Amino acid sequence: MITLQEKETIAQMSEKLKKEQRTLRYRRMKSNYGLLVGAAIIILFILLAIMGPLFTPYGPYEMSVMDRLLAPSAEHWLGTDEFGRDLLTRVIYGARVSISVGLIVALLSSTFGLIIGLYATYYRTLDHILMRICDGLIAIPGILLAIALMAALGASALNVIIALTIVFTPNIARVVRSTALVVREQTYIEAMHAQGASNFRIIWLHIAPNTLSPLLVQATFVFAEAIISEAALSFLGAGIPAPEASWGNILQAGKMVIYKAWWMVVFPGVSIILSVLSLNLLGDGLRDFLDPHVKHKHKKST
């Protein structure tokens, strides 16, 4: 039997090991500059989208014909658009729309992709059906599929979310499936079968948690791609309808006056570039943080 002193020693060793692991994770995170920079920029954009409208002196739809296409100044920091609306206010409200659409699409795609990938892994009949559907959707270029869906559904923020969720779910489903296939062959999964564990328990309590790391990384990339896709759809007139502000339809309006008002293209364009770049840095940083062996193998192969 284990004595009380031995139990205390084991508890102390366990606590010491946990503390060392936390310290190691903190050091790895601190040295992961891509993760830190990407997280800082995207958090800044999110805070700007949430709190920015509280400090802007103009409304997003407030027009002044006398102030059309004014260059950046102390009164209008980013200038005005073709209707005399403050561009800074429009860009901030556009961040609300673009980032919220990207985030919702990433969450929905991750949820549906997780469900499809897990059940396709576990049930062979479903695997053939679901993966052939995913292959068919992946074979169509994403932006063309999104435009076709928007043509059928109509231009609105909700329909943009639905269309982009359909576009990105198959990619996530395949990532989850590839990870889950490896996990399903592990010895402890066979042991759970032998003990009579239900399929639901095995799928959601033993396979699903092991797919969360690659799923989280892939979700950040989908977040970035959804922002670009929403901007592209809005730029083509098939996304967020005017007069609601999004970075894409601000660019669409700016293309008509690009030689007179360069700021209408530059500032929303820079916002898109920075947000997408930060999410890609965040995704790469998360991949290295959650699976440091990937980075080590890459260095050895180069």
pLDDT tens-digit readout, 171-191: 999 999 999 999 888 888 888
Q: Which domain holds residue 122?
A: 42-301
Domain assignment present for residue 214? The answer is yes
Please report the pLDDT score of residue 300 as a whole number.
Answer: 43
The maximal CA–CA distance of the chain, rounded, in angstroms, is: 88
Asked if residue 19 belongs to a domain, the reply is no
Position 12 in a domain: no
146 occurs within a structural domain: yes
Whether residue 2 is contained in a domain is answered as no
User: Does residue 260 sit within a domain?
Assistant: yes
Closest CA to 96 of 54, 61, 53, 55: 53
| d(C-alpha 222, C-alpha 226), whole Å | 6
Q: What is the mean pLDDT of the chain?
A: 87
Question: Does a structural domain hold residue 4?
Answer: no
Predicted TM-score of the model (pTM)? 0.88
Q: How many domains does the chain have?
A: 1
Structure token digits, residue 130: 């679901």
Is residue 102 a contact partner of residue 245, using CB atoms and an 8 Å limit? no
| Band of pLDDT at residue 298, cut at 50, 70 and 90 | very low
67 in any annotated domain: yes
Query: Is the distance from CB of 109 to CB of 96 less than 8 angstroms?
Result: no
Instruction: Specify the CATH number for the domain of residue 76.
Output: 1.10.3720.10
Question: pLDDT band at 290, cuts 50/70/90?
Answer: confident
Q: Are 72 and 61 in contact (CB under 8 A)?
A: no
Q: d(Cα 80, Cα 100) in Å, to the nearest integer?
A: 24
